[in-house]
Amino acid sequence: MSSIKTKDGTEIYYKDWGHGQPIVFSHGWPLSADAWDGQMLFLSMHGYRVIAHDRRGHGRSAQPSQGNDMDTYADDLAELIEKLDLKDMVMIGHSTGGGEVARYIGRHGSKRVAKAVLVGAVPPVMANTANYPNGLPISVFDDIRKGVQADRAQYYKDLSGPFFGANRPGAKVSQGLRDGFWLQSMAGGVKGHYECIKQFSETDFTEDLKKIDVPTLLVHGDDDQIVPIDHSSKLTAKIVKHATLKVYPGAPHGLTATHQEQFNDDLLAFIKA
């Protein structure tokens, strides 16, 4: 397996396929780089180099007790990018990974970045705060913590329903897709997953978003039950200077899988533009 060792000794697993302009992917909670397989295969077949890592505490990366916070996630990504000496890259983040991309640019700048794509992403901030009084109540995230602590295996099975919109009338979501979600989720560590909940819910990315100075595509489903669009992308579109918001009618949080063909086409068009 390909991996790097970060400054604090944590092993970060990554995939690196193909040649050409690098496309760097950051996955959502509680998944792994495998969540991007549909996009990585597609873009590698179109002449791009595709790279995706497992966040610390997730997937095949190490499960350290320390560093399960957004700053360290962004710094781990920066170490990988510098180790591979990636330039003129397109950064793509889904959900928590969208926050990771924003924090990377906020902390490390955009000198290596050509464009950014945030998909169903958590910025600017999910939870109700003084700056965002219309955010989701903290009780929503307390319930997630309870589910992960009590029986995370069952919690992840249940979560795959609203994640892919399988709980909607007439939904056509395969059992295999839901099983794959569960498999990726269970590969990670409970401590890293538990501590990540605070990071994706309470981190305020407003100042990071203000520093994004590259063309940015925001993609969001208007039936996202995990990261509601009104609390996230619609607000982010008003903060990022060069942002375009593309709304997928009826699409769920996991639209990269449920709307894979449409999303891949939009992604390729944006990268080429």
CB 210 within 8 A of CB 235: no
**What backbone torsions phi and psi does residue 95 show, to the nearest 5 degrees?**
60, -115
The set of catalytic residues is: 95, 224, 253
Which residues have C-beta within 8 Å of that of residue 49, sequence separation ≥ 6? 16, 17, 18, 19, 20, 21, 22, 23
What tokens does 132 get? Answer: 């965002």
CB burial of 220-249 (b: ≥16 within 10 Å; e: otherwise) equals: bbebbebbbbebbbebbbebbeebebebbe
CB 129 within 8 A of CB 204: yes
In angstroms, rounded to a whole number, what is the distance separating the alpha carbons of residues 128 and 119? 21
- State the DSSP H helix or E strand holding residue 3, giving kind and residue range, or none if neither: strand 3-5
153: burial class by Cβ within 10 Å (0-12, 13-18, 19+)? exposed
Nearest alpha carbon to residue 216 among 119, 125, 97, 71: 119
